Amino acid sequence: MKNLVRLFVIFSMLAVLAVPVFSQDDVDRSDWPAVFTFGRFAGDDSAEALLNAEPIRAYLEEELGIPVLVNVGSTYTAVIAAMAAGQVDAMEVGPFSFVIAEREAGAEPIAVGASESSLEEGEEAVYNPDIRPFYYSVFVTTKGSGVRSFADLEGVDFAFVDPASTSGRNAPVVRLINEVDGLETPGDVDEWLNPIFAGSHPSAVLALINGDVIAGVTYEGNLINQRTEGLAEVCGFEDDLTGVTLTQEQLDEIYEDCPEGSLVVIAQSDPIPNTPVAIREDLPESFKQAVADALLSIKDKPEVLASVGRWYVDPSTDDVLADELGLEELTDFYDVVRDIAAVTTDQ
């Protein structure tokens, strides 16, 4: 297990020698950890993951006044295991993995990441209050394929992303179970469709573009990226915004206006919350609040935001979002993911 979880940033270790003094003298820090360790998924390149994490590592170190280290794991499971073993204090590992970490490692959400879905090369991130901290998995087809509704999907070649993907598999499967008579389990969905697993979100869309499948699912931002990069003609997504709830009437209007051969959305999943920053629930309340405050203030610090590339919010404190989503506290935001986990796993 240890081999799965340990890779530290060398320069962050050196920072132990020169850490600024925490300015909030009224906060009792006697029970705070001596070092704060932040866990992340390494992806395909651990070195790149560490470099990408450096801006937020340095920022948190300055705000908290204690050394901050980054620990990357080769899998989401490795990061969760590191938290369960006390080797990681906080993490960003995706909403579905958070729900697992909540159960297995005592993880608690303190803030939710948000950002522009795509930025031009060299363009800096700027806070946009219109961007919502959730998104949709979307059911996509090609205009003219004959697929207009869930009923039309029966027996068609259909692209999922990966069996463990929230937006590329699990959220849309739950939507189908809730909407189509006779579908009660993921296995029922697989028998009802003719599914493939493309392996990645871009590959799922490519399968659709190439005609290998009639329909498929992906997250909204992937479609916007495909359009921005000139790889696909995609209808909808005005101003490249994600997290916009569309009625069936609006979806039908977009479909009617869409040119033949372009990619078009025929349905959305339930809202999928963005990845939270999750922290060990057994850490001192004052420390957890200090980390949350530091993250939530990034949107008000343009230079930090430009460096980090995203900001953080707590939708349970936003009256409009809290009312729309039925949130009393931040943890409620992830009830939809817990429901997905209940349907799509044996846990």
* Domain positions in the chain: 2-129+274-344, 134-272
Give pLDDT, residue 76. Answer: 86
Q: Which residues contact 190 (CB under 8 A, 6 or more apart)?
A: none
234 exposure class (CB count in 10 Å sphere: 0-12, 13-18, 19+): buried
The rounded distance, in Å, linking the Cα atoms of 301 and 308 is 11
Name residue 244's amino acid. V
Give the pairing of strands 107-114 and 134-135: unpaired
Give pLDDT, residue 22. Answer: 44
Give pLDDT, residue 17. Answer: 37
The rounded distance, in Å, linking the Cα atoms of 326 and 275 is 19
**CB contact at 8 A, 136 and 265:** no
Give the pairing of strands 157-160 and 215-219: parallel
CATH number 3.40.50.300 is the correct assignment for the domain at 134-272:
no
Q: 2-129+274-344: which CATH architecture?
A: 3-Layer(aba) Sandwich (3.40)
Residue ranges, the chain, pLDDT below 50: 1-23, 347
What is this structure's pTM? 0.76
Residue with the two structure tokens 């931002």? 221
The token pair that represents 41 in the structure block: 């998924």
Give pLDDT, residue 15. Answer: 39
pLDDT tens track for 227-255: 999 999 999 998 888 888 899 999 999 99
The rounded distance, in Å, linking the Cα atoms of 47 and 331 is 32
The rounded distance, in Å, linking the Cα atoms of 241 and 318 is 19
Give pLDDT, residue 172. Answer: 95
**Other C-beta atoms within 10 Å of 316: how many?**
18
The rounded distance, in Å, linking the Cα atoms of 242 and 127 is 15
Give pLDDT, residue 26. Answer: 67
Q: Which residue, among 69, 15, 12, has the nearest Cα to 39 in the 3D structure?
A: 69
E strand intervals along the chain: 36-41, 68-73, 90-92, 107-114, 134-135, 137-142, 157-160, 194-197, 215-219, 263-268, 272-273, 276-280, 311-313
Give the pairing of strands 90-92 and 276-280: antiparallel
Same CATH fold assignment for domains 2-129+274-344 and 134-272: yes
Q: Which residue, among 67, 61, 65, has the nearest Cα to 16 in the 3D structure?
A: 67
Total residue count of the chain as it appears in this document = 347
10 exposure class (CB count in 10 Å sphere: 0-12, 13-18, 19+): exposed
The rounded distance, in Å, linking the Cα atoms of 186 and 163 is 10
The rounded distance, in Å, linking the Cα atoms of 312 and 297 is 8
51-62 per-residue burial string, b: 16 or more CB within 10 A, e: under 16: ebbeebbbbbbe
117-135 per-residue burial string, b: 16 or more CB within 10 A, e: under 16: beeeeeeebebeeebbbbb
